[in-house]
Amino acid sequence: MERIGLIGLANSGKSSLFNALTNGSAIVASHPFSTTETTTGVAIVPDERLNLLAKLSESRKVVSSHVEFTDLAGLVAGSSTGEGLGNRFLAGIREMDAMCLVVRSFVDETVPGDNDPLDALGVLELELVLADLATCETHIERRKKAMRVDKSLAEEVAALQAAAEVLMQGTPLYRSKLQASTLEALKSAFLLTNKPIFVVINAGEDQLENSRKYEEEVASALGNAGPVLCVSVKLEAELAQLDPEERSEMLDGLGLGQGALARVAQAAFSLLGRRMFFTTGDKESRAWTFRAGAKAPECAGVIHSDLQRGFIRAEVIHWDDLVEIGSWNAAKAQGKIRLEGKEYEVLDGDVLEIRFNVSK
Ligand SMILES: Nc1nc2c(ncn2[C@@H]2O[C@H](COP(=O)(O)OP(=O)(O)OP(=O)(O)O)[C@@H](O)[C@H]2O)c(=O)[nH]1
Ligand SMILES: [Mg+2]
């Protein structure tokens, strides 16, 4: 199971965000380091395309995709050398597949901690970089010794040395100019900054009108290495408690669209390299998760292993064409449903119907 780790300074609102996303019950408290154990939960990934397909098919059930988040212990300056909860946070982050940095801008005197998102980003990046530098140095030592008998390690050592140089400048690997092949050769070192990243700025409700400005400042400090989303975690957490109808009314009233939690879940989903295809009918409309580049039989297998085993063909139409035409039957009559074979690479947003035969 791939997971996104919530990483941030103490009291930045990680556990609050986690609870709002996953309907979870991680400990939230105004004292620093209230989180000491990691908690993992599942967030649904709302998708407007799925809603439109469900409406078109008058589906009785709608099933969304999911993404897993893990709430981690907070960091402080010096965590990489053992301050605060020290190594505990490092071990936790190492197990994650991607990182969501949570930086605080909300102002609340009752909650200790700074509220400058750029400062927080600086501290977080420095701690991650220092931890990676220490890992690189250890690996370089070990690999150099091993290289005496195994020359094939030369490439890895070179990659580690290139990474160490970048880290020495204080630059996280996710915004280095290192080549993809070098980053790939670093995989076995499990470096923290060699993971995909995005940032959530936890803003006060009164700061939301300046969202764009906050996002641009942080994105530029991040070297545009990933998406940046400004969210009022407190407001979103309150909205998440409402029933769906009331919630969307409130969101509309506040001009927040689907809500920021949806955008956070969507960013996390796509950061993990996940894509969605859809199936739709009167019984249900459903979003299925696949990896970018997967072919039709593999995607059929996501629905059921029989569909992969007995795969014959996929009937395919992109979701927007289907919505524009208005029904599957009309699309078929117009010759807009394509028949695709085993080599077809499914696209994000494709609507599929699998033809299969398991008796063969
Ligand atoms: N005013 C305000 N308070 C918030 C917001 N988000 C979180 N808080 C409060 O900030 C405190 C810390 O929130 P947590 O979610 O526990 O923060 P955390 O990052 O998990 O903290 P640690 O686990 O200690 O690192 C709690 O008292 C929350 O109620 C917000 O958007 N606005
Ligand atoms: Mg916490």
Q: Which atom of ligand 1 is nearest to the CA of 108?
A: 1
Q: Is the per-residue pLDDT at 356 higher than 70?
A: yes
- Which whole-number Å values give the CA distances from 343 to 181, 313, 314, 330, 340, in the listed order? 27, 10, 11, 26, 8
Q: Is the per-residue pLDDT at 353 higher than 90?
A: yes
Q: End-to-end distance of the chain based on CA atoms, in angstroms?
A: 33
Average pLDDT score over residue span 335-341: 96
pTM: 0.91
User: Where in the chain does DSSP place strands (E)?
Assistant: 3-8, 39-45, 61-63, 65-71, 98-104, 197-202, 228-231, 274-280, 284-291, 311-318, 338-340, 350-356
Average pLDDT score over residue span 328-337: 96
Helix (H) and strand (E) counts for the chain?
14, 12
The CATH code belonging to domain 293-356 is 3.10.20.30
The pLDDT mean for the chain works out to 91
Q: Is the per-residue pLDDT at 84 higher than 80?
A: no
Alpha-carbon distance of 34 to 21, in angstroms, equals 19
Q: Is the CB of 74 under 6 A from ligand 1?
A: yes
Q: Is the CB of 234 under 6 A from ligand 1?
A: yes
Digit-coded pLDDT (tens) for 149-200: 888 888 899 999 999 999 999 999 999 999 999 999 999 899 999 999 999 9
Q: Is the CB of 14 under 6 A from ligand 1?
A: yes
Average pLDDT score over residue span 340-351: 97
Average pLDDT score over residue span 64-90: 80
The CATH code belonging to domain 3-270 is 3.40.50.300
For the chain, domain boundaries = 3-270, 293-356
